[in-house]
């Protein structure tokens, strides 16, 4: 096998390179170190952002408008030099602007990082990677096949801040999904939201369809988050609360028009996911709709970093969690006898499989 | 004593596309052993020949089968229209089409080839040149053989792009694929399905691969086909790599010749047109793709100049996400119209020229000039009967104008390939269409779901 190397006689290299490699002449260059530095800096990037949020920098700068470091520090009351280093770091992350020493929120910060931004991720960022300690023990987790402190040991402690933090993003996605699914036009739909967290899907459907009712399920320790959110959106009177494990909690057979499995499958492994899809099938009325939201890998498990790294996140902190490919999910949904399977993406990074329970034979 | 033949096809008007372009009123075609033995007035044919089977009659316009000179029969027929029509070229090809193609199974590619060939046959196309983007060639050939269409196929062959991984090939592997398909599926005049020396083209092939494909086409006596210069990506890529445009480089390599069919050729300059003409290479013009993927064919395309330079122009329908349909009659309509408007000159591509491109032009592209493309004695009996008992066909006053400007594939009533009736009274005779359509629906849903590419339809569905 030809090993590419720098040739001493460039005028000869063209022929040699073409003969051995089978491609036009190009200078051989050693690969860049950029991917390695990107990984090392990944830790710095994340903690810079978390620190900026912890110091309330984005909300402060929203109040101040364009400001110099002294004016910002008058609000934050930190070490001036350290604050400058932090702000400059946020600038190079592309999440703030700085011109002639004046710092200012850019469009990314206004949209995603201030706490009342239209698509704020401010509360999601600290909790989304899972317990931080688990990342420092990742090699041990790989070695032993399980994390030493899985979130299943105390699920409510982990999920309450997570579902509070992700609500804005998920609710926005669920609301935008009406542009794909028109759940607002259904006649008095009955919705089942399993492992609902803050119940962004159920609440979006209830808010979008005055005739809708919902059964919202999650662990007893998590359900109060959904109750609070439902009250906030004034839809709580149309919700039946169903505390319990989504694998075992009793559910009406053929009682629902929409069943939502929103970001719960990836903690359950293949067997658990298949059970959930089967439960959805059983609980749907004919022509009812399954909505399965999650992060999906590409078929080669290498072209969609977001999906693949979500698998690592699940591995770091859960007993059975993993990220599966869109192919796997679509085949499991099909195997459960769903029809008209499609994948939608109401907002960036958020995809859902949507599938229909077949009509009864006598209806056709 | 009348001579026995297998079939006589009768028509109100028989459009021969022969050397003098005769249109025969109350004409007939006599067929024996899959080839045409006579074309004349029906009264003369009836006097000279006796047939086991009489097809057609006064209600039909009879034409040669159309030749689709560039179509993707795998990858896109089962994902038809899934790619939104507002995706720029690079996103269209690399974000959508490559991932969609790469998740097909062998069974799905077979099904896809059948769906594509059924659509072609039922709209009057009897021969096609595949784009050379098939992965499971054996299954595809098997499926095509069942359907009964005539075609030239090839595997997805390139050696530079590393992704998608199922298509990654070292140069030696790519060359081996070509050798294998050319050995396994000869493409002689009587071979209904055969393989060509096909490359993906664009900027995906190394010079050694270009040269190997060239040599293999010559050795096996087949043609060579590839994509080139639909958008500026190809000229830009060649200029960056070699310092000059694609045709200059390919001509220097010795790739171009009369047996080469290049698809698209929209972004070419005058020198490249001259090179194509000098080398005798041919161009497959895919007008619908150019429109839908915004190639700029009416702004910068040089198809009129190519025609003036004597370059053979054939027509292709391309993939079903670039064009959505595989009806050559609709493509011929666009060919006739696009440059009339672009150059504000109604003499651009008359209907007759567009129809020549769809028949004789395609036959030349497929290196089957002596065997298909017209209703001439000795040629394959690839024959189409258009039903004139339809509103778009009446009154019938100028058949060539109506074939291109009025009619489309929906009026195709009966189709013969090599004398075999494959479409009869608007239905396939070689397979169960309802089973094909049901299987296609399921496969299409599973392929798109499996790909991880989201449904971007802009209107909701409940």
pLDDT in tens, B61-84: 999 999 999 999 999 999 999 999
And the tokens for A8? 């001493």
**Is the CB of residue B432 less than 8 Å away from at least one CB of chain A?**
no
And the tokens for B106? 């062998």
CB atoms within 10 A of CB B461: 12
**Closest chain A C-alpha to B180 CA, distance in angstroms:** 19
Q: Is A141 helix (H, G, I), strand (E, B) or coil?
A: helix
Identify all chain B residues contacting A329, using CB atoms and an 8 Å cutoff: 449
Residues A171-204 have pLDDT tens digits of 999 999 999 999 999 999 999 999 999 999 999 9
Distance from C-alpha of B230 to C-alpha of B234, rounded to nearest angstrom: 8
Residues A39-81 have pLDDT tens digits of 999 999 999 999 999 999 999 999 999 999 999 999 999 999 9
pLDDT at residue A147 in the model: 96
pLDDT at residue A27 in the model: 53
Beta bridge partners of A262: A293
Q: Is A43 helix (H, G, I), strand (E, B) or coil?
A: helix
Contacts of B81 (CB under 8 A, 6+ apart): B320, B321, B324
- Under the banding of pLDDT at 50, 70 and 90, the label for residue A16 is very low
pLDDT at residue B93 in the model: 87
Count A/B contacts: CB-CB distance under 8 Å.
95
pLDDT at residue A1 in the model: 39
Of A153, A123, A13, which is closest to residue A59 (Cα–Cα)?
Answer: A123
Largest distance between two CA atoms of chain B: 71
Contact A111, A117 (CB under 8 A): yes
Q: Give me chain B's average pLDDT, please.
A: 96
pLDDT at residue A12 in the model: 46
pLDDT above 90 covers a percentage of chain A that reads: 88
CB contact under 8 A, B452 and A326: yes
Contact B424, B7 (CB under 8 A): no
Q: Which of B171, B242, B449 sits opposite A326 (nearest CB)?
A: B449
CB contact under 8 A, A342 and B445: yes
Disruptive mutation site among A17, A23, A340 for chain B (greatest number of B CBs within 10 Å): A23
Of A240, A166, A242, A221, which is closest to residue A198 (Cα–Cα)?
Answer: A166
Of B284, B396, B338, B422, which is closest to residue B15 (Cα–Cα)?
Answer: B396
Lowest-pLDDT range of A10-14, A254-258, B98-102, B454-458: A10-14
Q: From start to end of B229-366, where are the E strands?
A: 260-264, 282-285, 313-315
Q: Mean of the pLDDT values across residues A276-300?
A: 97
pLDDT at residue A362 in the model: 59
Look at chain B and count its residues. Answer: 462
And the tokens for B96? 């959508």
Calculate the alpha carbon distances from B120 to B19, B320, B440 in Å.
Answer: 26, 12, 16
CB contact under 8 A, B454 and A181: no
**Is the CB of residue B395 less than 8 Å away from at least one CB of chain A?**
no
CB atoms within 10 A of CB A69: 18
Contact B234, B160 (CB under 8 A): no
pLDDT at residue A360 in the model: 81
Residue ranges of chain B whose pLDDT lies below 50: none
Judge residue B265's burial from the number of C-beta atoms within 10 Å of its C-beta, 0-12 exposed, 13-18 middle, 19 or more buried.
buried
Distance from C-alpha of A128 to C-alpha of A340, rounded to nearest angstrom: 32
Q: What is the pTM of this model?
A: 0.86
Cis upstream peptide for A277 (omega within 30°):
no
Nearest CA in chain B to A184: B462
Distance from C-alpha of B343 to C-alpha of B345, rounded to nearest angstrom: 5
**Is the CB of residue A344 less than 8 Å away from at least one CB of chain B?**
yes
Of B281, B103, B118, which is closest to residue B201 (Cα–Cα)?
Answer: B281
H helix intervals, A182-325: 200-208, 223-232, 269-283, 305-317
Calculate the alpha carbon distances from B302 to A211, B107, B279, B357 in Å.
Answer: 60, 40, 17, 16
Of B331, B255, B346, which is closest to residue B297 (Cα–Cα)?
Answer: B331
**Is the CB of residue B456 less than 8 Å away from at least one CB of chain A?**
yes
SS3 content of chain A, % helix, strand, coil (to 5): 50, 15, 35
Identify all chain B residues contacting A325, using CB atoms and an 8 Å cutoff: 450, 452
**Is the CB of residue A308 less than 8 Å away from at least one CB of chain B?**
no
**Closest chain B C-alpha to A185 CA, distance in angstroms:** 8
- Under the banding of pLDDT at 50, 70 and 90, the label for residue A8 is very low
Beta bridge partners of A339: A356
**Closest chain A C-alpha to B462 CA, distance in angstroms:** 5
Of A235, A147, A254, which is closest to residue A196 (Cα–Cα)?
Answer: A235
Of A264, A123, A289, which is closest to residue A205 (Cα–Cα)?
Answer: A289
Where on the phi/psi map is residue A101: left (φ > 0), alpha (ψ -120 to 50), or beta?
A: left
CB contact under 8 A, B455 and A343: yes
Which phi and psi (to 5°) does residue B230 adopt?
A: -70, -35
Beta bridge partners of A192: A215, A259
Of B180, B298, B274, B293, which is closest to residue B227 (Cα–Cα)?
Answer: B293
DSSP A2-59: PPP---S-HHHHHHHHHHHH-S------PPPSHHHHHHHHHHHHHHHHHHHHHTTHHH
Distance from C-alpha of A27 to C-alpha of B458, rounded to nearest angstrom: 46
CB contact under 8 A, A18 and B460: no
Cα dihedral across residues B165, B171, B176, B178: positive or negative: positive
And the tokens for B165? 């991984």
**Is the CB of residue A299 less than 8 Å away from at least one CB of chain B?**
yes
Of B256, B252, B341, which is closest to residue B304 (Cα–Cα)?
Answer: B341
And the tokens for B406? 């009025």
**Is the CB of residue B243 less than 8 Å away from at least one CB of chain A?**
no
Of B228, B227, B211, which is closest to residue B219 (Cα–Cα)?
Answer: B211
Calculate the alpha carbon distances from B304 to B109, B335, B350 in Å.
Answer: 36, 11, 11
With b for 16 or more beta-carbon neighbours within 10 A and e for fewer, the B428-446 pattern comes to bebbeeeebeebbeebbbb
Given a cut of 80, whether residue A19 has pLDDT beyond it is no
pLDDT at residue A15 in the model: 47
Torsion angle, alpha carbons of A104, A109, A111, A112, to 10 = -160
CB contact under 8 A, A326 and B163: no
Q: Tell me what ipTM this predicted complex has.
A: 0.76
CB atoms within 10 A of CB B247: 27
**Is the CB of residue B100 less than 8 Å away from at least one CB of chain A?**
no
Residue reference for tokens 């063209």: A14
Q: Which of B241, B242, B455 sits opposite A342 (nearest CB)?
A: B455
pLDDT at residue A239 in the model: 98
Distance from C-alpha of A100 to C-alpha of A109, rounded to nearest angstrom: 19
Nearest CA in chain A to B249: A24
H helix intervals, B343-374: 351-356, 362-365
Identify all chain A residues contacting B164, using CB atoms and an 8 Å cutoff: 300, 303
And the tokens for B20? 């003098």
Q: Mean of the pLDDT values across residues A237-250?
A: 98
Torsion angle, alpha carbons of A326, A331, A336, A338, to 10 = 70
Given a cut of 70, whether residue A20 has pLDDT beyond it is no
pLDDT at residue A3 in the model: 46
**Is the CB of residue A330 less than 8 Å away from at least one CB of chain B?**
yes
pLDDT at residue B1 in the model: 86
């Amino acid at each position: 096998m030809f090993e590419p190397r720098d040739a001493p006689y460039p005028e000869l290299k063209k022929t040699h390179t073409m003969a051995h490699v089978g491609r036009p002449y190009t200078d051989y260059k050693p690969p860049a170190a950029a991917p390695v530095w990107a990984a090392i800096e990944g830790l710095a990037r994340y903690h810079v952002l978390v620190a900026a949020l912890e110091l309330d920098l984005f909300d402060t700068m929203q109040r101040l408008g364009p400001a110099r470091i002294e004016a910002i520090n008058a609000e934050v009351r930190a070490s001036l030099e350290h604050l400058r280093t932090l702000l400059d770091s946020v600038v190079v992350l592309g999440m703030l602007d700085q011109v002639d020493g004046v710092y200012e929120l850019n469009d990314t910060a206004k949209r995603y990082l201030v706490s009342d931004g239209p698509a704020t991720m401010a509360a999601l960022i600290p909790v989304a990677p899972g317990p931080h300690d688990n990342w420092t023990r990742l090699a041990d987790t790989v070695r032993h096949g399980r994390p030493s402190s899985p979130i299943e040991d105390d699920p409510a402690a982990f999920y309450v801040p997570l579902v509070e933090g992700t609500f804005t993003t998920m609710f926005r996605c669920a609301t935008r999904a009406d542009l794909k699914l028109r759940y607002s036009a259904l006649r008095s739909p009955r919705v089942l939201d399993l492992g609902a967290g803050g119940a962004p899907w159920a609440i979006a459907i209830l808010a979008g369809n005055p005739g809708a009712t919902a059964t919202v399920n999650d662990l007893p320790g998590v359900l109060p988050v959904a109750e609070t959110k439902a009250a906030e959106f004034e839809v709580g009177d149309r919700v039946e609360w169903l505390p319990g494990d989504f694998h075992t909690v009793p559910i009406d057979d053929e009682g629902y028009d929409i069943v939502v499995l929103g970001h719960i499958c990836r903690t359950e492994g293949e067997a658990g996911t298949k059970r959930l899809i089967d439960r959805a099938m059983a609980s749907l009325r004919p022509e009812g709709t399954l909505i399965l939201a999650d992060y999906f890998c590409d078929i080669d498990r290498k072209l969609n970093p977001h999906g693949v790294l979500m698998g690592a996140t699940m591995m770091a902190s859960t007993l059975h969690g993993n990220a599966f490919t869109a192919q796997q999910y679509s085949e499991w949904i099909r195997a459960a006898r769903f029809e008209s399977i499609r994948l939608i993406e109401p907002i960036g990074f958020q995809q859902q499989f949507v599938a229909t329970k077949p009509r009864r034979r006598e209806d056709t | 004593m009348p001579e026995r033949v297998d079939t006589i096809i009768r028509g109100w008007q028989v459009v021969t596309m022969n050397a003098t372009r005769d249109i025969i009123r109350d004409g007939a075609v006599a067929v024996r052993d899959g080839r045409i033995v006579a074309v004349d007035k029906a009264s003369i044919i009836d006097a000279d020949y006796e047939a086991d089977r009489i097809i057609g009659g006064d209600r039909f316009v009879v034409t040669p089968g159309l030749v689709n000179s560039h179509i993707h029969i795998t990858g896109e027929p089962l994902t038809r229209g899934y790619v939104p029509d507002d995706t720029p070229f690079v996103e269209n090809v690399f974000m959508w089409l490559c991932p969609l193609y790469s998740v097909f199974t062998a069974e799905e590619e077979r099904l896809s080839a059948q769906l594509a060939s059924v659509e072609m046959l039922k709209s009057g196309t009897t021969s096609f040149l595949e784009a050379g983007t098939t992965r499971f060639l054996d299954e595809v050939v098997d499926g095509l053989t069942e359907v009964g269409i005539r075609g030239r196929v090839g595997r997805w062959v390139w050696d530079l792009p590393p992704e998608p991984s199922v298509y990654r090939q070292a140069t030696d592997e790519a060359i081996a694929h070509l050798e294998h398909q050319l050995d396994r599926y000869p493409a002689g005049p009587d071979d209904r399905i055969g393989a060509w020396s096909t490359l993906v083209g664009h900027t995906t092939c190394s010079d050694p691969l270009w040269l190997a494909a060239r040599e293999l086409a010559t050795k096996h006596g087949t043609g060579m086909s590839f994509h080139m210069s639909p958008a500026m990506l190809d000229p830009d890529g060649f200029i960056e790599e070699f310092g000059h445009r694609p045709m200059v480089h390919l001509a220097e390599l010795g790739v171009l010749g009369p047996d080469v069919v290049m698809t698209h050729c929209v972004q070419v300059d005058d020198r490249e047109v001259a090179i194509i003409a000098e080398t005798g290479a041919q161009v497959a013009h895919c007008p619908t793709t150019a429109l839908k993927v915004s190639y700029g064919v009416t702004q910068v395309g040089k198809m009129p100049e190519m025609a003036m330079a004597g370059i053979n122009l054939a027509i292709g329908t391309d993939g079903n996400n670039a064009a959505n349909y595989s009806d050559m009659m609709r493509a011929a309509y666009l060919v006739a119209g696009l440059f009339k408007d672009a150059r504000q000159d109604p003499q651009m591509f008359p209907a007759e020229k567009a129809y020549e491109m769809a028949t004789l032009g395609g036959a030349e592209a497929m290196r089957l000039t002596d065997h298909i493309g017209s209703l001439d004695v000795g040629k394959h009996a690839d024959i189409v009967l258009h039903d004139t008992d339809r509103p778009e066909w009446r009154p019938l006053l100028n058949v060539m104008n109506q074939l291109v400007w009025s009619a489309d594939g929906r009026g195709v009533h009966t189709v013969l390939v090599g004398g075999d009736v494959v479409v009869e009274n608007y239905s396939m005779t070689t397979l169960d269409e309802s089973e094909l359509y049901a299987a296609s629906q399921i496969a299409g849903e599973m392929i798109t779901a499996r790909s991880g590419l989201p449904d971007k339809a802009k209107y909701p569905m409940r």
